[in-house]
A and B are shown apart, each in its own frame.
Chain A
Amino acid sequence: MIQVVLCDDHAMIRRGIRDTLVDSGGIEVTGEAGSYPELKETLKSAACEVLVLDLNLPGRSGLEVLAAVKESHPHVRTLVVSMFAEDQYAIRCLRAGASGYLNKAGDPADLAKAVRTIHSGRKYVTPEVSEMLVNQLATPSEETLHSRLSERELQTLIKIASGKKLSDIAEELMLSPKTVSVYRARLLEKLALSNNAELTVYAIRNALV
């Protein structure tokens, strides 16, 4: 029997989740909590392998509670359930140590599947979440100092290096002079330089002009 504790402020939802899990067989609900303080108490006495945790209860942020539970009960695996669609919170919860994330609008049958998967030591993610995870992996990583500059910043650099005045640069880039001076300040900061002359030298050395 997989021992599960439920934490959700909505009693009807707790009943619904409990019935869903119990009906699926092999799962028993050993404790229920309607708030985070209650959860703390419940976890002191109830045997718990998997915690089904609502992310958005009144009071403390659910992510904080997640961290607190991981700290006090490291063996407990947590399945986060939330009214918010996966794209809003799932990855953040997984990063914070949750073993799975379920959207309450999803299929109730997924609940039991998720609890079993998590209990077996694996993560449970919906196809939506796994697609997001894959997308996050695709980030480029080559770096020279100025490859971290935006197109506009680079143009500003090149124009300063060709001796143009800030006001002319602003006109050419169709920006206000104030914005161009923010770009200039950022260039100096990013490239660790201190004036226009050094910007020019940098641009020449890197064959930008």
Chain B
Amino acid sequence: MKRMIALKHESNPLGNPVKVLHLEDSDADHLLVKRALAGSQLHFSIARADDKQSLLASLMGQEFDIVLMDYRLPGFTAMDAWAELSKLSATPPCVIVSGAIGEAAAVAAIQSGITDYLHKDNLKELARVILRALKLHQSEKERQRTADALQESELRISELARHLQSSLEQERAAISREIHDEIGGALAAMKLDVAWMKRHSESPEILERVSAMQQMVGQALTATQRIMQNTRPAILDQGLAASVQWLTEAHSKRVGRRVLLNCRLENETALNDGARLTAYRVVQESLTNISKYAPEADVLIDIADGGDGLTVEVSDNGPGFEMTRLKKTAGFGLKGLSERAKNIGGWLDVSSTPGRGTSITLTLPLQHHLINPTTPKNP
């Protein structure tokens, strides 16, 4: 019943008797603290430590909900004790209960993480101070848990994104292969046979139809090749330099502007599939954006791998945009690229100045990530 009454005023967030550890070398002061607590409505148990050894021993022996500390003890201070306490996996909140320690010391104590300071003359406030410290501690723990959960969930999302990305690429490769094997082969065979029929038939009616077929099969074949190229260009297997060259030629043919490709790769073999694909997609997406928003622009692509990092820079001298637009809806494609870069340990720099152009730079550290890609394990 006593507990019920105590809860009426200041509810103890733990619900159980508050386990107090009192670090105090003076018997009289310890007694005073005990008395002050007994006189309050706080349900508590108290243990005492009077030097560093007994403090450490007490902390080893059991867990405490709160530690009250005298500021100056023989041979050490509350700050030294706090340094020890901070090493614990679950540090209890600490309150300095002491004579005057001066403003500077009090501020330093609070800044280092000690929850509160109470002057010895004010012991009637002790129970309230303890409860407040416990509540603060509780909400700090809560905040920490939320932050951890958020971080965990962000990690999961980025793992999911990575997984989606690689499934997408695998799926594309599989689709491209299927089309090649199943459809492409059949169409190529038909094309040859239709040509044979054309050579071996005399009937004008048949020949007319054969000609039509020839045209259709030809169109179907061309479409097949285009689809294969768009899903996953075979040229990717020939390395980054070759595939980027192919992309740039296609771009300058499409928009009729100059694309300058400066490829200074010295060790292409050090790039793994993920790196190559990401670099390729960065160039591809950038060129797509340029044909959409800056078709009149000249483009400069620079790829190099010295200095333990791969950099892929695509810049244009088009109209550019306000960087603030990036944060809004614009540039979803860029967000995707940025996510991809992060997935393999790299990052994307995007800069643009209205009237001067846009520059997108992918950087990938080339030491461990790319040669030995490590997939983080699920917790």
User: What are the residues of chain A within 8 A of B9 when measuring CB–CB?
Assistant: none
Which parts of B322-379 form the interface with A (CB within 8 Å)?
347, 349, 351, 353, 359, 361, 363, 365
Known: A10-B185, A108-B191. A189 touches B306 (CB 8 A): yes
Verify if A176 is at the interface (C-beta below 8 Å from B): yes
CB proximity of B268 to chain A, nearest CB, Å: 14
In this assembly, does B274 line the interface, its C-beta being within 8 Å of a C-beta of chain A? Answer: no
Cα separation A39 to B190 with both chains bound (whole Å)? 24
Please pick, from B190, B222, B307, the residue contacting A185 in the complex, using a CB distance under 8 A.
B307
Q: Is B351 a contact of A92 with CB atoms below 8 Å? A: no
Task: Decide: B306 and A56 in contact? CB cutoff 8 A.
Answer: no
Chain A residues lying within 8 Å of B228, measured Cβ to Cβ, are 83-84
Q: How far is the CA of A9 from the CA of B182 in the complex (A)?
A: 12
Task: Compute the total of residue contacts between A and B using a CB distance below 8 Å.
Answer: 132
Contact residues in A for B246 (Cβ distance below 8 Å): 87-88
**A interface footprint on B303-320 (CB within 8 Å = 1, 0 otherwise):** 010111101010000000
For the residues of A in contact with B, the DSSP-based class is: helix
The answer on a CB contact under 8 Å between B184 and A104 is yes
Closest-CB distance, B335 to chain A (whole angstroms): 16
Compute how far the CA of A23 lies from the CA of B192 in the bound complex, rounded to whole angstroms: 12
Question: For chain B residues 274-319, which have a beta carbon within 8 Å of chain A?
Answer: 300, 302, 304, 306-309, 311, 313
The reply on B234 being an interface residue by CB < 8 A is yes
Contact present for B193 and A16 (CB under 8 Å): yes
A105 part of interface (Cβ distance < 8 Å)? yes
Complex Cα spacing A151 to B199, Å: 59
Shortest C-beta distance, B168 to chain A (Å), equals: 21
Minimal beta-carbon separation of B124 from chain A (angstroms): 54
Choose one: B193, B196, B307; the contact of A183 (CB below 8 Å).
B307
Among A19, A150, A176, A183, which residue has the most Cβ atoms of chain B within 10 A?
A150
> In the docked arrangement, what's the CA distance between A108 and B210, Å?
14
Residue B225 interfacial (CB < 8 Å): yes
Q: In the complex, what distance in Å separates the CA atom of A152 from the CA atom of B300?
A: 12
Considering the complex, give the chain A residue whose CB is closest to the CB of B359. A174
Q: Does B166 contact A (CB under 8 A)?
A: no
CB neighbours (8 Å) of A202 from chain B are none
Contact A150 B351 (CB under 8 A): no
Kindly report which residue of chain A lies nearest to residue B363, judged by CB atoms.
Answer: A179
- Bound: A186/B249 CA distance, A: 28
Task: Please indicate the chain B residues that have their CB under 8 angstroms from the CB of A179 in the complex.
Answer: 311, 347, 349, 361, 363
B180 at interface (Cβ–Cβ under 8 A)?
yes
Q: Does B235 contact A (CB under 8 A)?
A: yes
Does A20 lie at the interface of the complex (its beta carbon under 8 Å from any beta carbon of B)?
Answer: yes
A17 near B: Cβ within 8 Å? yes
14 contacts between A and B (CB under 8 A): A12-B193, A16-B189, A16-B192, A16-B195, A23-B199, A87-B249, A88-B234, A108-B195, A148-B264, A176-B349, A179-B361, A185-B309, A189-B306, A190-B306
